[in-house]
Amino acid sequence: MKVLLVVTLVVFFLGCFVRAQNSCNDVTGYDTCIKFFDGLCFRPTATVQVQKTCWENGRKLCKTNYCTGPCEEGWIYNLDSRVCYKVLMNKEVSMNWSKAQRECTALNRFAKLAEIKSRTENDFIKDLLSPRFNAFWIGLRDVNQEGHWVWTDGTAVTFSDWHRNEPNNAGNEDCALFHRNSVWWGSAGYKWNDAPCWYAGNYGAVCQMPAQ
């Protein structure tokens, strides 16, 4: 009888352990920078979308789990802003600003280039960017009035993360992007730069859309 009880208990706790390992909230094997989306990962529909390995000085630091949460399949949820993001970076042909905006809308009619209103959102997005692309368009322009930067929803910039000496409108630059590297600056660390809207170098884009 005692043995049976012990066996039952062991099986029960082992079961819990296995279940915990399979849940989003488990940190086994990962380091502390796993991002939790409290509660959401426990929803059966909330799938882990991206597992990104972070590196520092050639050392594997951690894996970051991102969740779809209440977003459409293929999008990543930011619990802080409650916005869904998708980074366009699989294109063979790179895109200028207008094409990037169209590509976002083509995914969903409520989608558009990202409008980044806070440091938290900015950091969240920067984590999603791939070094394979040198820059990523965002929904910010000064087309109507030089130096007056406006998000595509019409709101003026409150938060910004321009690179030093940017925006400089070098030869008429009216569209903003995250810039990884530049021959002029070296590593730009995905600070913002203004670039010509028609330019289509090795560029991706960041789309956003509301959660469902």
Interaction site with ligand MMA (CB under 6 A):
166, 168, 170, 173, 182, 184, 193-195
Rounded to the nearest whole angstrom, what is the least distance from the CB of residue 187 to ligand MMA in the complex? Answer: 13
CB 85 within 8 A of CB 204: no
Q: Which does 138 bind (CB under 5 to 8 A by kind): Ca ion, ligand MMA, none?
A: none
* Residue with the two structure tokens 């005692």: 2
Q: How far apart are CA 14 and CA 29, in angstroms?
A: 18
Nearer to ligand MMA, 121 or 194 (CB): 194
Torsional sign, CA 4, 5, 9, 10: negative
177 belongs to the binding site for Ca ion (CB under 5 A) = no
CB 140 within 8 A of CB 167: no
Q: Which does 184 bind (CB under 5 to 8 A by kind): ligand MMA, Ca ion, none?
A: ligand MMA
Segment holding 119, helix H or strand E: helix 119-126
Stretch that binds Ca ion, among 49-57, 68-76, 123-131, 163-171 (CB under 5 A): 163-171
* Residue with the two structure tokens 């690179």: 163
Rounded to the nearest whole angstrom, what is the least distance from the CB of residue 146 to ligand MMA in the complex? Answer: 14
* Strand partners for 204: 136
Query: Residue count at the site for Ca ion (CB under 5 A)?
Result: 6
Q: Which does 182 bind (CB under 5 to 8 A by kind): Ca ion, ligand MMA, none?
A: ligand MMA
Q: How far apart are CA 145 and CA 162, in angstroms?
A: 18
Length in residues, the chain: 212
Q: Which does 115 bind (CB under 5 to 8 A by kind): ligand MMA, Ca ion, none?
A: none
Rounded to the nearest whole angstrom, what is the least distance from the CB of residue 135 to ligand MMA in the complex? Answer: 8
Rounded to the nearest whole angstrom, what is the least distance from the CB of residue 184 to ligand MMA in the complex? Answer: 3
Residue of minimal Cβ distance to ligand MMA: 184
In eight-state DSSP terms, residue 140 is E
Rounded to the nearest whole angstrom, what is the least distance from the CB of residue 194 to Ca ion in the complex? Answer: 4
Sort 8 into a burial class: Cβ within 10 Å, 0-12 / 13-18 / 19+: exposed
